[in-house]
Structure 1
Amino acid sequence: MKIELKPLNTSDFSIVVEWVNQHDQDFLMQWAGPTYQFPLTVEQMEEHYSKGINSLESDVYLYMIKDLTNNEPIGSFQIGRFNMINKEAIIGRFLMKDEGYRGQGIGRRALYQLIQMGFEIFQLNRIKLNVYDINKRAIKCYESVGFRKGKITENVHRSLKNEEWNNIEMVLNKESWMNYREGINFL
Protein backbone atom coordinates (compact mmCIF):
# COMPACT_ATOMS: atom_id res chain seq x y z
CA MET A 1 0.00 0.00 0.00
CA LYS A 2 1.30 3.44 -0.92
CA ILE A 3 0.73 6.17 1.62
CA GLU A 4 1.06 9.92 1.79
CA LEU A 5 0.98 12.47 4.59
CA LYS A 6 -1.50 15.30 4.11
CA PRO A 7 -2.11 18.19 6.51
CA LEU A 8 -5.05 17.36 8.76
CA ASN A 9 -7.76 20.03 8.93
CA THR A 10 -10.02 20.91 11.83
CA SER A 11 -12.86 19.46 9.74
CA ASP A 12 -11.07 16.08 10.11
CA PHE A 13 -11.35 16.14 13.92
CA SER A 14 -14.58 14.12 13.74
CA ILE A 15 -12.73 11.29 11.98
CA VAL A 16 -10.06 11.19 14.69
CA VAL A 17 -12.75 11.29 17.41
CA GLU A 18 -14.51 8.32 15.79
CA TRP A 19 -11.28 6.30 15.64
CA VAL A 20 -10.33 7.02 19.26
CA ASN A 21 -13.80 6.34 20.65
CA GLN A 22 -13.79 2.82 19.19
CA HIS A 23 -11.60 2.07 22.21
CA ASP A 24 -11.63 2.76 25.95
CA GLN A 25 -10.23 5.50 28.18
CA ASP A 26 -6.90 3.66 28.56
CA PHE A 27 -6.49 3.85 24.80
CA LEU A 28 -7.22 7.58 24.94
CA MET A 29 -4.55 7.91 27.65
CA GLN A 30 -2.02 6.04 25.49
CA TRP A 31 -2.83 8.25 22.53
CA ALA A 32 -2.98 11.68 24.17
CA GLY A 33 -1.90 11.41 27.78
CA PRO A 34 -4.12 13.27 30.26
CA THR A 35 -5.11 15.99 27.74
CA TYR A 36 -8.66 14.77 27.10
CA GLN A 37 -11.57 13.14 28.91
CA PHE A 38 -13.21 9.98 27.57
CA PRO A 39 -15.16 9.90 25.36
CA LEU A 40 -13.23 12.27 23.15
CA THR A 41 -15.26 15.00 21.44
CA VAL A 42 -14.61 17.40 18.59
CA GLU A 43 -15.14 20.23 21.08
CA GLN A 44 -12.31 18.97 23.26
CA MET A 45 -9.99 18.88 20.27
CA GLU A 46 -11.07 22.36 19.13
CA GLU A 47 -10.40 23.71 22.61
CA HIS A 48 -7.02 22.00 22.80
CA TYR A 49 -5.98 23.42 19.42
CA SER A 50 -7.50 26.86 20.07
CA LYS A 51 -4.31 28.53 18.78
CA GLY A 52 -4.84 26.78 15.44
CA ILE A 53 -2.92 24.04 13.69
CA ASN A 54 -0.36 23.61 10.95
CA SER A 55 1.75 26.68 11.63
CA LEU A 56 4.75 27.58 13.76
CA GLU A 57 2.51 30.10 15.56
CA SER A 58 0.21 27.26 16.64
CA ASP A 59 3.27 25.17 17.58
CA VAL A 60 1.78 22.03 16.05
CA TYR A 61 1.37 20.37 12.66
CA LEU A 62 -1.21 17.59 12.33
CA TYR A 63 -1.09 15.06 9.51
CA MET A 64 -3.50 12.53 8.10
CA ILE A 65 -2.01 9.31 6.75
CA LYS A 66 -3.78 8.58 3.45
CA ASP A 67 -3.95 5.36 1.46
CA LEU A 68 -3.12 6.53 -2.07
CA THR A 69 -5.01 3.68 -3.76
CA ASN A 70 -8.37 5.11 -2.63
CA ASN A 71 -7.40 8.41 -0.91
CA GLU A 72 -8.86 7.02 2.33
CA PRO A 73 -7.60 8.38 5.67
CA ILE A 74 -6.07 5.51 7.65
CA GLY A 75 -4.17 7.25 10.43
CA SER A 76 -2.96 10.51 11.92
CA PHE A 77 -0.25 12.07 14.09
CA GLN A 78 1.35 15.35 14.93
CA ILE A 79 4.66 17.07 15.41
CA GLY A 80 4.78 20.01 17.76
CA ARG A 81 6.19 21.66 20.85
CA PHE A 82 8.92 23.13 18.69
CA ASN A 83 11.99 24.43 20.46
CA MET A 84 13.74 26.37 17.73
CA ILE A 85 16.66 27.30 19.99
CA ASN A 86 17.54 23.64 20.50
CA LYS A 87 16.05 22.71 17.11
CA GLU A 88 13.86 19.95 18.47
CA ALA A 89 10.20 18.94 18.47
CA ILE A 90 7.97 16.15 19.73
CA ILE A 91 5.96 13.64 17.72
CA GLY A 92 2.70 12.56 19.30
CA ARG A 93 -0.89 11.46 18.92
CA PHE A 94 0.06 8.63 16.55
CA LEU A 95 -3.11 6.77 15.61
CA MET A 96 -4.06 4.12 13.07
CA LYS A 97 -7.69 3.90 11.99
CA ASP A 98 -8.14 0.33 13.17
CA GLU A 99 -6.33 -2.89 13.94
CA GLY A 100 -6.42 -3.93 10.26
CA TYR A 101 -3.80 -1.30 9.43
CA ARG A 102 -1.37 -2.35 12.13
CA GLY A 103 1.47 -4.79 11.66
CA GLN A 104 1.90 -4.02 7.94
CA GLY A 105 4.64 -1.42 8.21
CA ILE A 106 2.27 1.43 7.31
CA GLY A 107 2.87 3.30 10.56
CA ARG A 108 6.60 2.84 10.19
CA ARG A 109 6.56 4.29 6.66
CA ALA A 110 4.41 7.22 7.78
CA LEU A 111 6.69 7.85 10.75
CA TYR A 112 9.71 7.77 8.44
CA GLN A 113 8.10 10.44 6.26
CA LEU A 114 7.31 12.65 9.27
CA ILE A 115 10.86 12.29 10.61
CA GLN A 116 12.24 13.20 7.21
CA MET A 117 10.07 16.34 7.18
CA GLY A 118 11.22 17.18 10.70
CA PHE A 119 14.89 17.04 9.81
CA GLU A 120 14.70 18.41 6.26
CA ILE A 121 11.80 20.90 6.24
CA PHE A 122 11.71 22.04 9.87
CA GLN A 123 15.53 21.81 10.11
CA LEU A 124 15.40 20.03 13.47
CA ASN A 125 18.42 18.42 15.12
CA ARG A 126 16.43 16.16 17.45
CA ILE A 127 12.97 14.62 17.52
CA LYS A 128 11.44 13.15 20.65
CA LEU A 129 8.32 11.21 21.51
CA ASN A 130 6.75 9.67 24.58
CA VAL A 131 5.34 6.18 24.83
CA TYR A 132 4.04 4.04 27.67
CA ASP A 133 6.10 0.93 28.34
CA ILE A 134 3.05 -1.31 27.89
CA ASN A 135 2.80 -0.31 24.21
CA LYS A 136 5.37 -2.81 22.93
CA ARG A 137 4.25 -2.59 19.28
CA ALA A 138 4.70 1.17 19.20
CA ILE A 139 8.13 0.93 20.84
CA LYS A 140 9.19 -1.62 18.23
CA CYS A 141 7.94 0.68 15.45
CA TYR A 142 9.80 3.69 16.86
CA GLU A 143 13.01 1.72 17.28
CA SER A 144 12.72 0.43 13.71
CA VAL A 145 13.23 3.96 12.37
CA GLY A 146 16.06 4.82 14.74
CA PHE A 147 14.52 6.14 17.97
CA ARG A 148 16.30 5.10 21.15
CA LYS A 149 14.95 4.85 24.66
CA GLY A 150 15.92 7.64 27.00
CA LYS A 151 14.49 8.88 30.27
CA ILE A 152 11.93 6.64 31.99
CA THR A 153 9.37 8.10 34.38
CA GLU A 154 7.81 5.39 36.52
CA ASN A 155 4.19 4.94 37.55
CA VAL A 156 2.68 7.81 35.59
CA HIS A 157 -0.70 6.12 35.03
CA ARG A 158 -2.79 3.37 36.61
CA SER A 159 -4.88 1.61 33.96
CA LEU A 160 -8.43 0.31 34.19
CA LYS A 161 -6.84 -3.11 34.76
CA ASN A 162 -4.93 -1.64 37.72
CA GLU A 163 -1.59 -1.83 35.90
CA GLU A 164 1.07 0.81 36.49
CA TRP A 165 2.39 2.38 33.31
CA ASN A 166 5.82 3.94 32.94
CA ASN A 167 6.55 6.67 30.40
CA ILE A 168 9.54 6.26 28.09
CA GLU A 169 10.96 9.28 26.32
CA MET A 170 12.45 8.21 23.01
CA VAL A 171 14.92 10.35 21.07
CA LEU A 172 16.24 10.49 17.53
CA ASN A 173 19.11 12.84 16.66
CA LYS A 174 19.60 14.08 13.11
CA GLU A 175 23.15 12.73 12.89
CA SER A 176 22.02 9.27 14.01
CA TRP A 177 19.11 9.46 11.58
CA MET A 178 21.36 10.33 8.66
CA ASN A 179 23.53 7.29 9.40
CA TYR A 180 20.65 5.00 10.34
CA ARG A 181 18.35 5.70 7.40
CA GLU A 182 20.84 4.21 4.96
CA GLY A 183 20.01 0.80 6.45
CA ILE A 184 16.23 1.21 6.24
CA ASN A 185 14.90 -0.68 3.25
CA PHE A 186 11.13 -0.82 3.70
CA LEU A 187 10.17 2.12 1.51
Structure 2
Amino acid sequence: MNIKLELLNESDFSKIVEWVNAYNSDFMVQWAGLTYKFPLSMEQITEHYIRGINTKEGSAYVYKIIDVESSHYIGSVQLARFDEVKKEAVIGRFIIDEKYRGKGVGQAALHKLASLGFEQFNLNGLKLNVFNINKGAMKCYERVGFKQILVNPKFYQSSTGEWWDQIQMLLCKEEWIKNKMK
Protein backbone atom coordinates (compact mmCIF):
# COMPACT_ATOMS: atom_id res chain seq x y z
CA MET A 1 0.00 0.00 0.00
CA ASN A 2 1.30 3.43 -0.92
CA ILE A 3 1.17 5.85 2.00
CA LYS A 4 2.54 9.25 2.88
CA LEU A 5 3.06 11.10 6.15
CA GLU A 6 1.69 14.60 6.71
CA LEU A 7 1.93 16.72 9.81
CA LEU A 8 -1.22 16.27 11.83
CA ASN A 9 -3.35 19.22 12.92
CA GLU A 10 -4.95 19.40 16.34
CA SER A 11 -8.33 19.13 14.59
CA ASP A 12 -7.27 15.59 13.56
CA PHE A 13 -7.11 14.43 17.21
CA SER A 14 -10.80 13.49 17.16
CA LYS A 15 -10.08 10.58 14.79
CA ILE A 16 -7.42 9.26 17.16
CA VAL A 17 -9.89 9.48 20.05
CA GLU A 18 -12.39 7.50 17.97
CA TRP A 19 -9.84 4.80 17.07
CA VAL A 20 -8.55 4.37 20.63
CA ASN A 21 -11.99 4.37 22.25
CA ALA A 22 -13.17 1.60 19.93
CA TYR A 23 -11.10 -0.71 22.15
CA ASN A 24 -10.42 -0.77 25.90
CA SER A 25 -8.04 0.57 28.53
CA ASP A 26 -5.45 -2.15 27.82
CA PHE A 27 -5.33 -1.15 24.16
CA MET A 28 -4.87 2.49 25.19
CA VAL A 29 -1.89 1.50 27.37
CA GLN A 30 -0.36 -0.30 24.37
CA TRP A 31 -0.86 2.84 22.31
CA ALA A 32 0.26 5.50 24.80
CA GLY A 33 1.68 3.88 27.91
CA LEU A 34 0.25 5.25 31.12
CA THR A 35 -0.18 8.81 29.83
CA TYR A 36 -3.98 8.86 29.59
CA LYS A 37 -7.04 7.52 31.43
CA PHE A 38 -9.60 5.50 29.48
CA PRO A 39 -11.76 6.56 27.73
CA LEU A 40 -9.52 8.95 25.84
CA SER A 41 -10.85 12.48 25.42
CA MET A 42 -9.95 15.51 23.38
CA GLU A 43 -9.27 17.34 26.65
CA GLN A 44 -6.62 14.78 27.67
CA ILE A 45 -4.83 15.02 24.34
CA THR A 46 -4.98 18.82 24.32
CA GLU A 47 -3.60 18.94 27.87
CA HIS A 48 -0.81 16.50 27.00
CA TYR A 49 0.27 18.66 24.05
CA ILE A 50 -0.12 21.94 25.97
CA ARG A 51 3.08 23.29 24.34
CA GLY A 52 1.70 22.41 20.93
CA ILE A 53 2.75 19.94 18.27
CA ASN A 54 5.02 20.02 15.25
CA THR A 55 7.42 22.57 16.72
CA LYS A 56 10.75 22.33 18.52
CA GLU A 57 9.11 23.91 21.58
CA GLY A 58 6.39 21.26 21.61
CA SER A 59 9.00 18.50 21.30
CA ALA A 60 6.56 16.24 19.43
CA TYR A 61 5.98 15.94 15.73
CA VAL A 62 2.72 14.11 15.10
CA TYR A 63 2.02 12.71 11.65
CA LYS A 64 -1.08 11.37 10.05
CA ILE A 65 -0.70 8.37 7.79
CA ILE A 66 -2.50 8.93 4.50
CA ASP A 67 -3.45 6.28 1.94
CA VAL A 68 -2.20 7.95 -1.27
CA GLU A 69 -4.76 6.26 -3.52
CA SER A 70 -7.88 7.21 -1.53
CA SER A 71 -6.45 10.22 0.37
CA HIS A 72 -7.93 8.72 3.57
CA TYR A 73 -6.40 9.43 6.97
CA ILE A 74 -5.70 5.86 8.13
CA GLY A 75 -3.39 6.22 11.12
CA SER A 76 -0.98 8.36 13.05
CA VAL A 77 2.47 8.20 14.62
CA GLN A 78 4.63 10.64 16.52
CA LEU A 79 8.30 11.43 16.86
CA ALA A 80 9.03 12.95 20.27
CA ARG A 81 11.34 13.18 23.27
CA PHE A 82 14.28 14.42 21.24
CA ASP A 83 17.65 13.92 22.95
CA GLU A 84 19.99 16.49 21.43
CA VAL A 85 23.07 14.94 23.07
CA LYS A 86 22.51 11.35 21.90
CA LYS A 87 20.78 12.55 18.72
CA GLU A 88 17.85 10.20 19.36
CA ALA A 89 14.07 10.48 19.48
CA VAL A 90 11.24 8.19 20.48
CA ILE A 91 8.52 6.88 18.20
CA GLY A 92 5.16 6.59 19.90
CA ARG A 93 1.39 6.93 19.71
CA PHE A 94 1.45 4.67 16.64
CA ILE A 95 -2.03 3.62 15.56
CA ILE A 96 -3.47 2.32 12.31
CA ASP A 97 -7.17 2.10 11.53
CA GLU A 98 -8.14 -1.55 11.97
CA LYS A 99 -9.32 -1.82 8.34
CA TYR A 100 -5.76 -1.13 7.14
CA ARG A 101 -3.80 -3.42 9.47
CA GLY A 102 -1.90 -6.37 8.04
CA LYS A 103 -1.35 -4.61 4.70
CA GLY A 104 2.17 -3.27 5.21
CA VAL A 105 1.04 0.18 6.36
CA GLY A 106 3.02 -0.05 9.60
CA GLN A 107 6.27 -0.92 7.87
CA ALA A 108 5.78 1.75 5.21
CA ALA A 109 4.99 4.39 7.85
CA LEU A 110 8.05 3.46 9.91
CA HIS A 111 10.31 3.59 6.85
CA LYS A 112 9.02 7.08 6.06
CA LEU A 113 9.32 8.19 9.70
CA ALA A 114 12.88 6.81 9.88
CA SER A 115 13.72 8.77 6.75
CA LEU A 116 12.42 11.95 8.39
CA GLY A 117 14.25 11.21 11.64
CA PHE A 118 17.59 10.41 10.09
CA GLU A 119 17.56 12.86 7.18
CA GLN A 120 15.44 15.85 8.27
CA PHE A 121 16.16 15.78 12.01
CA ASN A 122 19.70 14.39 11.61
CA LEU A 123 19.19 11.76 14.31
CA ASN A 124 21.44 8.75 14.89
CA GLY A 125 18.85 6.55 16.57
CA LEU A 126 15.12 6.00 16.93
CA LYS A 127 13.67 4.22 19.96
CA LEU A 128 10.25 2.83 20.70
CA ASN A 129 8.56 0.78 23.39
CA VAL A 130 6.31 -2.19 22.79
CA PHE A 131 4.71 -4.78 25.04
CA ASN A 132 5.70 -8.43 24.58
CA ILE A 133 2.06 -9.40 23.98
CA ASN A 134 1.95 -7.27 20.81
CA LYS A 135 3.64 -9.85 18.56
CA GLY A 136 2.42 -8.31 15.30
CA ALA A 137 3.90 -4.92 16.14
CA MET A 138 7.18 -6.48 17.22
CA LYS A 139 7.48 -8.34 13.90
CA CYS A 140 6.76 -5.12 12.03
CA TYR A 141 9.45 -3.22 13.97
CA GLU A 142 12.00 -5.99 13.46
CA ARG A 143 11.32 -6.04 9.68
CA VAL A 144 12.18 -2.34 9.59
CA GLY A 145 15.44 -3.05 11.46
CA PHE A 146 14.64 -2.31 15.10
CA LYS A 147 16.53 -4.42 17.64
CA GLN A 148 15.57 -5.18 21.24
CA ILE A 149 17.85 -3.35 23.66
CA LEU A 150 16.06 -3.55 27.01
CA VAL A 151 13.29 -5.56 28.66
CA ASN A 152 11.37 -4.24 31.66
CA PRO A 153 9.68 -7.34 33.06
CA LYS A 154 6.20 -7.13 34.53
CA PHE A 155 5.86 -3.48 33.56
CA TYR A 156 2.06 -3.44 33.32
CA GLN A 157 -0.71 -5.66 34.64
CA SER A 158 -3.61 -5.86 32.19
CA SER A 159 -7.27 -5.74 33.15
CA THR A 160 -7.29 -9.56 32.96
CA GLY A 161 -4.41 -9.83 35.44
CA GLU A 162 -1.77 -10.75 32.85
CA TRP A 163 1.64 -9.14 33.32
CA TRP A 164 3.18 -7.54 30.25
CA ASP A 165 6.88 -6.97 29.73
CA GLN A 166 7.87 -3.66 28.15
CA ILE A 167 10.48 -4.02 25.43
CA GLN A 168 12.55 -1.08 24.28
CA MET A 169 13.76 -1.26 20.70
CA LEU A 170 16.29 0.82 18.77
CA LEU A 171 16.89 1.52 15.11
CA CYS A 172 20.36 2.91 14.42
CA LYS A 173 20.91 5.16 11.44
CA GLU A 174 23.75 2.94 10.16
CA GLU A 175 21.51 -0.15 10.26
CA TRP A 176 18.68 1.71 8.53
CA ILE A 177 20.99 2.88 5.74
CA LYS A 178 22.35 -0.66 5.30
CA ASN A 179 18.82 -2.12 5.07
CA LYS A 180 17.72 0.66 2.74
CA MET A 181 20.51 -0.22 0.30
CA LYS A 182 19.34 -3.86 0.00
- Quote the residue 1:116 is aligned against: 115
* CA distance, structure 2, for counterparts of residue 2 and residue 116 of structure 1: 16
Measured after TM superposition, the shift of residue 65 of structure 1 is: 0.2
CA deviation string 1:57-89 (max 9, x = no partner): 111000000111221100001001001111100
- Quote the residue 2:81 is aligned against: 81
Would you say the 8 A contact 1:52–1:58 is kept in 2? yes
Give the AA of the match of 1:119: F
- Long gaps (5+) in structure 1: none
Would you say the 8 A contact 1:145–1:181 is kept in 2? no
Q: CA RMSD in A?
A: 0.8
TM-score normalised to the size of structure 2? 0.98
* CA distance, structure 2, for counterparts of residue 13 and residue 103 of structure 1: 23
Question: Percent of aligned positions with the same letter in both sequences?
Answer: 49
* CA distance, structure 2, for counterparts of residue 51 and residue 60 of structure 1: 9
Would you say the 8 A contact 1:127–1:173 is kept in 2? yes
Measured after TM superposition, the shift of residue 46 of structure 1 is: 0.0
- Quote the residue 1:170 is aligned against: 169
- Quote the residue 1:4 is aligned against: 4
Q: Secondary structure at the match of 2:74?
A: strand
Give the AA of the match of 2:147: R
TM-score normalised to the size of structure 1? 0.95
- Quote the residue 2:71 is aligned against: 71
- Quote the residue 1:32 is aligned against: 32
Measured after TM superposition, the shift of residue 170 of structure 1 is: 0.1
* CA distance, structure 2, for counterparts of residue 118 and residue 151 of structure 1: 21
Q: Secondary structure at the match of 1:64?
A: strand
Q: Secondary structure at the match of 1:34?
A: coil
Q: Is the counterpart of residue 160 in structure 1 residue 151 in structure 2?
A: no
- Quote the residue 1:125 is aligned against: 124
CA deviation string 1:80-127 (max 9, x = no partner): 1001111100000110011x2111111110110000110000000011
Would you say the 8 A contact 1:53–1:62 is kept in 2? yes
- Quote the residue 2:150 is aligned against: 151
Measured after TM superposition, the shift of residue 27 of structure 1 is: 0.2
CA deviation string 1:28-78 (max 9, x = no partner): 000000000000000000000001000111110000001112211000010
Q: Where does structure 1 differ by over 3 angstroms across 4 or more consecutive aligned residues?
A: none
Give the AA of the match of 1:29: V
Would you say the 8 A contact 1:21–1:40 is kept in 2? yes
* CA distance, structure 2, for counterparts of residue 63 and residue 91 of structure 1: 11
Give the AA of the match of 2:178: N
- Long gaps (5+) in structure 2: none
- Quote the residue 1:19 is aligned against: 19
Measured after TM superposition, the shift of residue 23 of structure 1 is: 0.3
